[in-house]
Amino acid sequence: MKPLRNDISPGSRVAIVQKQDQRSGKLTEGTVADLLTKSPTHPHGIKVRLQTGEVGRVQQILDQPA
């Protein structure tokens, strides 16, 4: 099951899949800057913007901010 919006916060380390990587399933790791999905869940993952500016859907949470 994909992570819920409540489990993700700015500063979380996550692995996302970007739009162009959805077919290959290639994951990009980074730190969340903004949450873009407003609903508590999404079948393909919560959409976030990383601090690098990359946008994608969270596939897994790697580390929570302290």
Q: Say what the pLDDT of residue 64 is.
A: 82
CATH top-level class of 5-63: mainly beta
- Dist. CA 17–CA 45, nearest whole Å: 9
Q: Say what the pLDDT of residue 65 is.
A: 76
Q: Say what the pLDDT of residue 1 is.
A: 81
Per-residue pLDDT of the chain (66 residues; tens, 9 = 90+): 899 999 999 999 999 999 999 999 999 999 999 999 999 999 999 999 999 999 999 999 999 876
Q: Which two tokens stand for residue 6?
A: 């409540």
